[in-house]
Chain A
């Protein structure tokens, strides 16, 4: 214990690094070797066991505060504990007594941790045997969400987007005869948390007795994990109607097979290809969830909830948003091709973002063959006359639909870009 030089370290307020809620042991071996939880401010903390001393009856542990992104990355095996510590700016040594009560906390930086105690490169989160449920939460963080508020319109879009996403996945299970209904539960703080429960009823009078044992909740949670963690990396697989499958996609297919096998329902033909098609369809729905991130909240985490314990499934921030949207677009361009107007045409748009200096922004426009769905193309207004007091700024400030002449770039029904002819 001497190698930690505790006597010369800066003492910290222990309640900053003490886990007071949501304590969960990730790995136990005589002692809780690796664990997570939250401090009194709700920050996520990861802790690990360093050493114990029978003479002084002292246990030393390492605690660090995690960002939501780091937490998600670690829990999903994307980053090792070593890398978490290496990148952390808030590592502390927490001294506990032999009843595991926190006695003191000391500041330490990564380079001062004795090398013998450093985790190895392969210190990924141990696989935990997990059960799954059909209860989910979406937790918004940052900006307005941090004062436990959210914009009603954005919350409504997330609610609708996620309930449609969940219900569509159940409806895509051919032959199961299930009637899904995603129910909203009361909002909770955290920073702003939207809660859902997916209720499944069987259609008809004669229910399938074996359906209870089909791992539908495991399939849905693995599906959400796949689409948030692996879809972007697998985008090439979705560009062609080939039978290429990544390991992650094969695992999801195996879970889907398990759903059918345990329900004693014959697997649909070409189940793998149907799954791929369904993922592409769902990616468009998922994209709608990601669109809300950035303005009034910084990130959204989708969690599976069992006995009030949350397992992170997806973490969506602006980086994720950009990667995800560009992957969906790339696949769509590859499959449907990019259509560009040769001549200017009339379009009805509503500009919701415009930089009058660069003359660029974004607008809403109804999709060409499906007026119920809207695209949010980038816009560029030609010319060099000032845009003040024009119909463009009127649309922006008065939330007004206007008619413009523009050349559009489209992928399928969706508008991607409008090059607008300046008119006054």
Chain B
């Protein structure tokens, strides 16, 4: 698994301490009720960039934000999605529950104050939508 696309314009090593994880289930909010390519585009790929030069910041912009679904974390993340939905319903009412394949990429635990199950997914060079195993698409609002 290579990460040349991820690293071609930065000196940061974003996959340092990141791991392959094909066992756990993850969650990602969707724009619509189907999984589209754009749902897995990173801020960096979209041209949304941080002025900060610290590697943590740079790498988080180069990652796809996902949440590990374990124990109570799914309920908590759905609460977060519901908060977003109440402020701006256009931000989507569905999420996908999925697993990663061998060549999908690497994940790194990146908890936030209000988002303790947050992970950064660093996509490998061969990532496509076929790189994820969709378990279900859930309508939460």
A and B are interacting partners: yes
Q: List residues of A whose CB falls within 8 A of some B CB.
A: 27-30, 33-34, 48-52, 54, 57, 81, 98-99, 116-120, 122-124, 126, 128-129
B49 pairs with A50, CB closer than 8 A: no
A126 pairs with B83, CB closer than 8 A: yes
Is B111 interfacial (CB-CB < 8 Å)? Answer: no
B29 pairs with A119, CB closer than 8 A: no
Contact pick for A129, options B48, B84, B88, B114, CB 8 Å: B114
CA distance A33 to B84 in the complex (A): 7
A29 pairs with B29, CB closer than 8 A: yes
A253 nearest CB across to chain B (Å): 26
A116 pairs with B46, CB closer than 8 A: no
Q: Whose C-beta in chain A lies nearest to the C-beta of B50?
A: A99
Q: Whose C-beta in chain B lies nearest to the C-beta of A124?
A: B86
Which residues of chain B from 3 to 45 have any CB-CB distance to chain A below 8 Å in the complex? 29, 38, 43
A381 nearest CB across to chain B (Å): 56
CA distance A122 to B83 in the complex (A): 9
Beyond A33-B84, A81-B86, 16 extra complex contacts between A and B, CB < 8 Å: A28-B114, A29-B80, A29-B81, A29-B83, A30-B43, A34-B87, A48-B88, A54-B47, A98-B47, A99-B49, A99-B51, A117-B89, A120-B87, A123-B87, A126-B114, A129-B113
B88 pairs with A119, CB closer than 8 A: yes
What are the residues of chain B within 8 A of A29 when measuring CB–CB? 29, 80-81, 83-84, 91
CA distance A154 to B122 in the complex (A): 59
B65 pairs with A30, CB closer than 8 A: yes
Q: Whose C-beta in chain A lies nearest to the C-beta of B113?
A: A129
Chain B contact-residue range equals 20 to 34
A333 nearest CB across to chain B (Å): 43
CA distance A124 to B87 in the complex (A): 8
What are the residues of chain A within 8 A of B48 when measuring CB–CB? 52, 98-99
CA distance A129 to B114 in the complex (A): 7
Is B90 interfacial (CB-CB < 8 Å)? Answer: yes
What are 15 A-B contacts defined by CB distance under 8 Å? Answer: A28-B115, A29-B84, A30-B65, A34-B87, A48-B88, A52-B46, A54-B38, A81-B86, A98-B47, A116-B90, A117-B88, A118-B89, A119-B88, A120-B85, A123-B87
Which residues of chain B from 102 to 116 have any CB-CB distance to chain A below 8 Å in the complex? 112-115
Which residues of chain B from 69 to 94 have any CB-CB distance to chain A below 8 Å in the complex? 80-81, 83-91
Q: Whose C-beta in chain B lies nearest to the C-beta of A59?
A: B48
What are the residues of chain A within 8 A of B49 when measuring CB–CB? 98-99
Q: A33-B91, A57-B47, A99-B49 are in contact. Are A122 and B86 (CB under 8 A)?
A: yes
Contact pick for B114, options A119, A124, A128, CB 8 Å: A128
B84 pairs with A51, CB closer than 8 A: no
What are the residues of chain B within 8 A of A124 when measuring CB–CB? 86
CA distance A57 to B43 in the complex (A): 11
B136 nearest CB across to chain A (Å): 20
CA distance A57 to B46 in the complex (A): 8
Q: Whose C-beta in chain A lies nearest to the C-beta of B141?
A: A120
B90 pairs with A51, CB closer than 8 A: yes
B51 pairs with A49, CB closer than 8 A: no
B88 pairs with A33, CB closer than 8 A: yes
A63 nearest CB across to chain B (Å): 14
Q: A51-B90, A116-B89 are in contact. Are A27 and B47 (CB under 8 A)?
A: no
What are the residues of chain A within 8 A of B85 when measuring CB–CB? 120
CA distance A30 to B48 in the complex (A): 11
What are the residues of chain B within 8 A of A30 when measuring CB–CB? 29, 43, 65
CA distance A400 to B84 in the complex (A): 61
What are the residues of chain B within 8 A of A119 when measuring CB–CB? 86-89
B14 nearest CB across to chain A (Å): 18
A124 nearest CB across to chain B (Å): 8
A123 pairs with B86, CB closer than 8 A: yes
Q: Whose C-beta in chain A lies nearest to the C-beta of B114?
A: A129
A80 nearest CB across to chain B (Å): 8
What are the residues of chain A within 8 A of B87 when measuring CB–CB? 27, 33-34, 48-49, 81, 119-120, 123
Contact pick for A50, options B83, B84, B86, B90, CB 8 Å: B90
Q: A29-B84, A99-B49, A126-B83 are in contact. Are A120 and B90 (CB under 8 A)?
A: no
CA distance A50 to B90 in the complex (A): 8
CA distance A46 to B15 in the complex (A): 36
B134 nearest CB across to chain A (Å): 20
CA distance A116 to B80 in the complex (A): 19
B84 pairs with A117, CB closer than 8 A: no
CA distance A29 to B90 in the complex (A): 13
CB-based closest 8 A-B pairs = A29-B84, A123-B86, A120-B86, A98-B48, A126-B83, A98-B47, A119-B87, A54-B46
CA distance A134 to B29 in the complex (A): 39
CA distance A85 to B124 in the complex (A): 43
What are the residues of chain A within 8 A of B43 when measuring CB–CB? 30
What are the residues of chain A within 8 A of B84 when measuring CB–CB? 27, 29, 33
B46 pairs with A98, CB closer than 8 A: yes
B89 pairs with A27, CB closer than 8 A: no
CA distance A116 to B85 in the complex (A): 11
What are the residues of chain B within 8 A of A52 when measuring CB–CB? 46, 48
What are the residues of chain B within 8 A of A27 when measuring CB–CB? 80, 83-84, 87
What are the residues of chain A within 8 A of B83 when measuring CB–CB? 27, 29, 33, 126
